[in-house]
Amino acid sequence: MDRTIESAFFDIFKQGGIASMCVEILEVKYKLNKSLLNQIAGNSDWEEFYTKTLPNQIKQRACDLNVDFDSLFTEVGKNLSECKTNPTEFSNYCLSLLSPFVDFLRKVKPSKHRERERQMKMDNVRLLLDSGIDEDRELANDIQSRVEVMIADWENIEKEFRTISKKHTEIPTEELGKYFEGNYTETIFAELMRMLKDYAIGIDWILAQIGVDLLNLQNDGGIYLIESRNIYNYIQFAGTTKIAQRVFDALSQNGTQQQPDNETPQRNKKQPSFRSIIQYEDKERLLGRLHKLIDGKQGADVGAVLLKAKKEKYLTKCPNEKEYVSEFTLVGSWAAIKKYLNTNTPTAEGNADNIVIF
């Protein structure tokens, strides 16, 4: 198995690569990492490192960003073909296409990539509440308050990095030179995000050809390159949106990933999927609208949207927790959402009636 081109691309995003250098500079410049800021506070050597030394290292290694994606995807396709007869090797290889990006994504998209961390803290809260002891209840409330602050911090960090990656595209052409000179790291970061998006779309398409759904694979690995699919991004591979939609619809309808030869039947168990309960003709349009209404929200706000989507027959039913987290980031607890999915509850009905899907 030849992984020469893969490895060169992965090195960009691994710890110590250009991507991690950019993130560190931006964390300091935009005050996004409190522990790092406390560590370097008042230290002139650190200031010199982040304002001069590290940016210069990025400039020296900028040539690493010249990636031939056609060759990269060809290499990946050959490797998938080589290992498809070995179930373990095939599974490990598929996950290895995601794992190099985990450190980078945990910093620039923490809301979903640190979900396990949040879940562990909330599990502790539930255990303390179940004990029935007043002191435990106080501790549970304290932990929950800190978790809420933590989630808010993650959302702000993610929003800031998203703003940084888009900012340079809004600069007038005649001012690009001046902007680039003063915001070199931001420009490189924006390019990194574009490259990662192109990689995700290409890998998603390649895997779909052999019956592997990247959305399911991401859930298995806890690493999320894409949140949802915009079918127009796949025209470059499929030729038309109709062909691309047919490929991904087949994945959704099958509800399983095609496994390599000799795979056991148990591995073909159907995975919960939010997409499987959508009955609106344009799935991507509906998903885009639901993400806009749901992302970053919890409890009654999410329940109202889901209930309204069910009432207006955009969904065949209200999702269960596994179906929900296959598409959306769970903020807070599922129980807080679930109690607002009941059509017999006046409050839930009233909240849903205030929602406009389309």
**DSSP code of residue 326:** T
Exposed, middle or buried by CB within 10 Å (0-12, 13-18, 19+), for 146? exposed
- Quote the pLDDT of residue 225: 95
Structural domain count, the chain: 2
Q: Among the three residues 201, 226, 251, which one is the final residue of a domain in this structure?
A: 226
In-domain check, residue 144: no
Q: Are residues 96 and 17 in the same domain?
A: yes
pLDDT exceeds 90 at position 26: yes
Residue type, 316: T
Across the range 301-319, mean pLDDT stands at 91
pLDDT exceeds 80 at position 357: yes
Q: Are residues 312 and 213 in the same domain?
A: no
Q: Are residues 198 and 335 in the same domain?
A: no
In-domain check, residue 326: yes
The pLDDT-based confidence of 264 (bands split at 50, 70, 90) is very low
pLDDT exceeds 80 at position 260: no
Confirm if 4 and 33 have CB atoms less than 8 A apart: no
pLDDT exceeds 70 at position 169: no
Q: Are residues 335 and 212 in the same domain?
A: no
- Quote the pLDDT of residue 261: 42
**pTM greater than the 0.75 cutoff:** no
The answer to which of 37-46, 58-67, 249-258 has the lowest mean pLDDT is 249-258
Q: Among the three residues 188, 204, 226, which one is the final residue of a domain in this structure?
A: 226
Of the candidates 305, 301, 316, 296, the one whose C-alpha atom is nearest the C-alpha of residue 358 is 305
Across the range 225-235, mean pLDDT stands at 90
In-domain check, residue 50: yes
pLDDT exceeds 90 at position 227: no
Q: Are residues 8 and 84 in the same domain?
A: yes
Contacts of 181 (CB under 8 A, 6+ apart): none
The pLDDT-based confidence of 270 (bands split at 50, 70, 90) is low
The pLDDT-based confidence of 96 (bands split at 50, 70, 90) is very high
Domain that holds residue 295: 275-353
Secondary structure (DSSP) of 247-274: HHHHHHHH-SPPPPTT--GGGGPPPP-G
State the chain's mean pLDDT as an integer. Answer: 88
The answer to which of 255-264, 297-306, 335-344 has the lowest mean pLDDT is 255-264
In-domain check, residue 168: no
In-domain check, residue 162: no
The pLDDT-based confidence of 268 (bands split at 50, 70, 90) is very low
Q: Are residues 205 and 76 in the same domain?
A: yes
Across the range 184-189, mean pLDDT stands at 92
Q: Are residues 186 and 288 in the same domain?
A: no
User: pLDDT over 90 for what percent of the chain?
Assistant: 53
pLDDT exceeds 70 at position 11: yes
